[in-house]
Chains A and B, each alone.
Chain A
């Protein structure tokens, strides 16, 4: 291609790319910069008063026990939920890799939780978790065990919320892994079988390494999503008991929409954004490495 042709090609490329770029800049960069800007102010949305206080919002909220608790809870939730969802997703994908009667209906059943509204799921699980009339404590009672405060015991509540998230989002991991699996050419497996590889060797030495980019992708998507956990906490525990299920999102919501302290809410959002961006960057780099 001649240089003039390449220049024309590049100009055309930038021209068609420009509207999308401008839109992305407007919808992403503008809100983020406005949040960063607000985070340096004591900003009461109702009285519309702003007072520049530098980094005070940051230093205050980082020093607050509630913020620290919310941050720790978010990290625990993100790590446990996303890891287990991916492990279970891989497990189900392997289980359904084989041909068997009822495979289609099994896939449908596995996918089902993902298509229900989160609020409906929370309402159902809330009845399962009920201390006195809930299904789980009923089963424990039948087994002669003491009831558990699934949503009321501060040491258990976060894991109950994790359980609901795993139930709802494992299907998502399953779907992506299964799609990856079905794209692997069958002759690879046939060749491995001819070479004498057993099922375990095929799974661990062939299938899983081939699926590593899909697994990484699901892990990234679930990590980012679980890090923003809000709806389940809002519907199941309201952040309690004793802040045992407060997360960064509920902290931001509380500051922003219960107290209308937009300065503090903005600084908490910026901190959250940093962590999510760092996680995303880590995964994207790993994915790009895989691609190379």
Chain B
């Protein structure tokens, strides 16, 4: 009995050591954990990982493909805990300010200096500056990975019938929408994402800015201005030419309608949605849809940048390896391969000039132009809350619960409470 007890005790002591031995890293192998996105962005990251591993077989990866909200939640929880669980994180640019201000990201300027490198001038400077804190001249804390820019899409074959080759103002857009409704039976004149919160705000912002309105002026809300009122009244007028169920429209509905050829204009498209526009197997409108910068109105056209940035948490235990991977991820070769395979937009000048890519994605010149001159959403810690309030009241105005003026006054009051 005593002997049996000793055997059992030894076995119990050996089990944990066997378990922990199994979890030990092989000598010389580094594992990088990436908190990334799902969908095309996840495919792009996988592609970059595969090509990196060819040259660096001793680096292993764990890629988490998360939805936008999951990525935000998990990033905050892990970074706040300082666990070092993530080595590379993908960050939506409006959220970057909060992470930068919290001091959770490694200083990439210092890493460049340490390695005797400098930032490649081929990366679009305006996009690189998004990663700086304070914006746009401070320390570099993230690099641009996905060069998303909101663009305007329209059926040029239809607009030409009504005398417009290129839309210069939003007034022209409304005029053409009216004519399409009157003359093109079954064709939706205009489309946008009407879901409350981020989608509707993102769709509306190019109009808002073009009408000369601002979100924050000197840190104070600026929604109750005549410019903002003009912009919203215009938006509500234009929305009369959108489909009945537009308040539930997401990116899928917008891109499906464009590809099917049932919509004439979309006031907001992102490169990631329209990768198949010129693919005859999936698109009914090959060569018919023009993707361009947004029209202007009081102000010149200003594209909205919605970049996805990559950064290294300062608590990562593999900062050097992570930085090396970031250089690979943002290199010209990787961006070209990613653009070719997944349609994810690059952030380099040179990749925008590759002839066959431009043939596949004819909006590259507009995209590059948008990256060089476009605007970012306000760099404030309160952006998520502001966007949420803005989106709620925009949608309430859209469904007719509030007038444009009432909605803007409500937004002004609520945003003032948020930023106070």
In the bound complex, what is the Cα–Cα distance between A261 and B73 (angstroms)? Answer: 13
Whether A175 sits at the interface, judged by CB under 8 Å, is no
Given contacts A66-B392, A259-B388, A260-B76, contact A242 B401 (CB under 8 A): yes
* Chain B 277-293 interface residues, beta-carbon cutoff 8 Å to A: none
B60-89 Cβ-contact flags toward A at 8 Å (1 or 0): 000000000100110010001000000000
Q: What's the minimum C-beta distance from A200 to chain B, rounded to whole angstroms?
A: 45
Q: Which of A47, A131, A132, A241 is within 8 Å of B399, CB to CB?
A: A241
In the complex, the answer to whether A258 meets B384 with C-beta atoms within 8 Å is yes
Q: From residue A69, how far is it (CB to closest CB) to chain B in Å?
A: 10
Asked if B248 is at the interface (CB within 8 A of a chain A CB), the reply is yes
B399 touches A242 (CB 8 A): yes
Q: When the two chains form their complex, are residues B102 and A46 in contact, meaning their CB atoms are under 8 A apart?
A: yes
State whether A46 and B76 are in contact (beta carbons under 8 Å apart), knowing that A152-B244, A259-B384 are contacts in the complex. Answer: yes
Chain A interface residues (CB < 8 Å from chain B) = 45-48, 66, 130-132, 147, 149, 151-152, 154, 237-243, 254, 257-261
For the A-B complex with A241-B395, A243-B196 known, give 13 more contacts whose Cβ atoms are closer than 8 Å: A48-B80, A149-B247, A154-B401, A237-B248, A238-B195, A240-B196, A240-B247, A241-B194, A241-B196, A257-B69, A257-B72, A258-B384, A258-B388
Report the 4 A-B pairs with minimum CB-CB distance, sorted nearest first: A131-B245, A240-B196, A241-B247, A152-B245
1/0 contact string of B383-420 vs chain A (CB within 8 Å) = 01100100010011011010000000000000000000
CB distance from B312 to the nearest CB of A (A): 18
Cα distance A260–B76 in the bound complex, in angstroms? 9
Instruction: Give the residues in chain B near A48, CB-CB below 8 Å.
Output: 80, 102
Residues of A with C-beta under 8 A to B399 = 154, 241-242
Task: List the A side residues contacting B102 at CB < 8 Å.
Answer: 46-48
Interface majority SS on B: helix, strand, loop or mixed? helix
Known: A66-B392, A257-B73. A151 touches B248 (CB 8 A): yes
B248 contact from A45, A241, A243, A258, Cβ within 8 A = A241
Q: Are B80 and A46 in contact (CB under 8 A)?
A: yes
Most B CB contacts (10 A, CB to CB) among A149, A152, A243 go to A152
Number of A-B contacts (CB under 8 A): 77
CB pair A147–B392 under 8 Å, yes or no, is: no
B191 to chain A, nearest CB (A): 12
CB distance from B261 to the nearest CB of A (A): 14
CB proximity of B19 to chain A, nearest CB, Å: 25
- Residue B272, interface by CB 8 Å: no
Contact B244 A147 (CB under 8 A): yes
Question: Which B residues touch A258, using CB under 8 A?
Answer: 69, 72, 384, 388
User: B244: which of A131, A237, A243, A259 is its contact (CB, 8 Å)?
Assistant: A131
- Report the Cα distance A238→B249, complex, angstroms: 12
Partner of A46, one of B98, B243, B398: B98
Does B197 belong to the interface (CB within 8 Å)?
A: yes
Residues of A within 8 A of B73 (CB): 257
Chain A residue at minimal CB-CB distance from B396: A242
Q: Please, could you name 23 A-B residue pairs with CB atoms under 8 Å apart, sorted by A?
A: A46-B102, A47-B101, A131-B243, A149-B244, A149-B247, A151-B245, A152-B248, A154-B399, A154-B401, A238-B195, A240-B197, A240-B248, A241-B194, A241-B247, A242-B196, A242-B247, A242-B395, A242-B399, A242-B401, A257-B72, A258-B69, A258-B388, A259-B388
Residues in A with CB closer than 8 Å to B98 are 46
Answer whether A238 and B80 are a contact pair too, CB < 8 Å, given A243-B396, A259-B388: no
On whether the beta carbons of B244 and A238 are closer than 8 Å, the reply is no
Report the minimal beta-carbon distance from B241 to chain A, rounded to whole angstroms: 16
Least CB distance, B314 to chain A, in whole angstroms? 15
Chain B nearest Cβ from A240, distance in angstroms: 4
Complex interface: chain B residues within 8 A of A241 (CB): 194, 196, 247-248, 395, 399
> Separation in Å of the B380 CB from the closest CB of chain A?
12
Give Cα distance in the complex from A283 to B370, angstroms: 60
- Contact between chains at A239 and B196 (CB < 8 Å): yes
CA distance A260 to B80 in the complex (A): 12
CA separation between A269 and B102, bound complex, in Å? 26
Q: Which residue of A lies closest to B395 (CB)?
A: A242
Alpha-carbon distance between A279 and B195 when the two chains are bound, in angstroms: 33
Q: Given the complex, which residues of A lie within 8 Å of B388, measured CB to CB?
A: 254, 258-259
Closest to B249 in A: A152
Residues of chain B lying within 8 A (CB to CB) of residue A130: 245
Residue of B nearest to A130 (CB): B245
Complex Cα–Cα for A147 and B396 (A) = 21
Q: Contacts of B381 on A, CB cut-off 8 Å?
A: 46-47
Question: Restricting to B91-145, which residues have a CB under 8 Å from any CB of A?
Answer: 98-99, 101-102
Q: Which residue of A lies closest to B250 (CB)?
A: A238
Whether B196 contacts A238 by the Cβ 8 Å rule is yes
Min C-beta distance of B370 to chain A, whole Å: 27
> Nearest CB to that of B401 among chain A residues?
A242
Known: A259-B384, A259-B388. A149 touches B396 (CB 8 A): no
A246 vs B288: C-alpha distance in the bound complex, in angstroms? 40
Alpha-carbon distance between A152 and B398 when the two chains are bound, in angstroms: 11
- Nearest CB of B to A8, in Å: 30
Whether A240 and B101, one on each chain, are in contact in the complex, defined by CB atoms closer than 8 angstroms, is no
Also in contact, A259 and B395, with CB within 8 A (given A238-B196, A240-B196): no
CA distance A151 to B247 in the complex (A): 9
By beta carbon, the residue of chain A nearest B382 is A259
Given A241-B395, A241-B399, A242-B196, the answer on whether A152 and B247 have CB atoms closer than 8 Å is yes
C-alpha spacing A254/B248, complex, angstroms? 19
CB <8 Å contact, B76 and A45: yes
Q: How far is the CA of A239 from the CA of B198 in the complex (A)?
A: 13
Question: If A46-B80, A46-B102 touch, does A132 touch B248 (CB 8 Å cutoff)?
Answer: no
